[in-house]
Amino acid sequence: MKMLLKGKVAIVTGASRGIGAATAVKLAEHGAAVAVNYNQSKEKAAEVVAAIQKNHGRAIAVKANVFDREESDKMVREVEREFGKIDIVVLNAGGNFKNAPFMEQAWEDFEKKILHEVKASFWTLKAVLPSMIERKSGSVIIISSGLSRRPNTGFSAHSTAKSALDAFAKSLAFEMGPMQIRVNVVAPGLVLTDATSSMPEEREKMVAGMTPLRRIGLPEDIAGAVLFYASDESKFITGNYLPVNGGQMML
């Protein structure tokens, strides 16, 4: 198998479970040394690291609440100390949100979701970008959501927060392009993870039925799209928004 990321170092936020964990494993499979960030799930993060090492990859687990400036900064310094540099950043950790119609949304919950989502990207990038700018090289991948462009009832906080990330990514792609740092967005549709595990089976079936490829997404499906943006196979692509949803958003 071709190793697309040989010699590269990646950090994946929120990589103890779900999409982040699958992404960490995928990037390591392609030769990247990977920092598996977690906040609370220490054992799960250790399992991701062990799975990578079992496959002869390089990985470390790094604890940080990426909504916090100091912890994000410390995380980046730790990864740079361990692996010497950072080439790829996958900003995957996002904030929880209350799924409810707008009229039942409290401002405090709405504000918290937006702040958490944006801070999770802002602080990590503030810490990572200076060395990428110096080396004139880097790939940043932000995990948004299909709901940032196609909202649905009950998801106003999530859609608003993820739209902010989309605009943030485009702004950064513009500013960082001259420094050869690419910034792209991956926008998953519904993916089976802990975050969606409480969804009724009928709803899952309904979404699968409306999806041209007739199934719900798996974390590995998203990881494949991230790998593309992380690698030089996409070296002339920046400021892009890639929906990964089995064809649901093609129209």
Residues at the interface with ligand NAP (CB under 6 A): 13-20, 37-41, 65-67, 92-94, 143, 145, 188, 190-191, 193-196
CB of 148 to ligand NAP, least distance (A): 9
CB of 245 to ligand NAP, least distance (A): 9
> Nearer to ligand NAP by C-beta: 62 or 103?
62
CB of 145 to ligand NAP, least distance (A): 4
CB of 66 to ligand NAP, least distance (A): 4
Given CA atoms 167, 97, 89, 234 in this order, what sign does their dihedral have?
Answer: negative
Strand arrangement, sheet containing 181-188: 59-63, 33-38, 9-12, 88-91, 138-143, 181-188, 241-244
Bridge partners of 186, per DSSP, are 143, 242
> Nearer to ligand NAP by C-beta: 13 or 163?
13
Residue type, position 130, single letter: P
Check if the beta carbon of residue 85 is closer than 8 Å to that of residue 7: no
How far the first Cα of the chain sits from its last, in Å, is 34
Q: Which residue is nearest to ligand NAP (CB)?
A: 18
Q: Please state at what angle helix 156-176 crosses helix 107-135, rounded to 10 degrees.
A: 20
> Nearer to ligand NAP by C-beta: 56 or 108?
108
| Buried b or exposed e, range 64-90, using 16+ CB within 10 angstroms | bbbbeeebbbebbebbbeebebbbbbb
> Nearer to ligand NAP by C-beta: 40 or 171?
40
> Nearer to ligand NAP by C-beta: 4 or 186?
186
Given CA atoms 11, 14, 17, 20 in this order, what sign does their dihedral have?
Answer: negative
> Nearer to ligand NAP by C-beta: 2 or 197?
197
State both tokens at 113. 């979701």
Check if the beta carbon of residue 142 is closer than 8 Å to that of residue 168: yes
Q: How far is CA 138 from CA 49, 50, 61, 135, 228, in A?
A: 23, 26, 21, 8, 14
> Nearer to ligand NAP by C-beta: 238 or 245?
245
CB of 71 to ligand NAP, least distance (A): 8
CB of 96 to ligand NAP, least distance (A): 8
CB of 198 to ligand NAP, least distance (A): 11
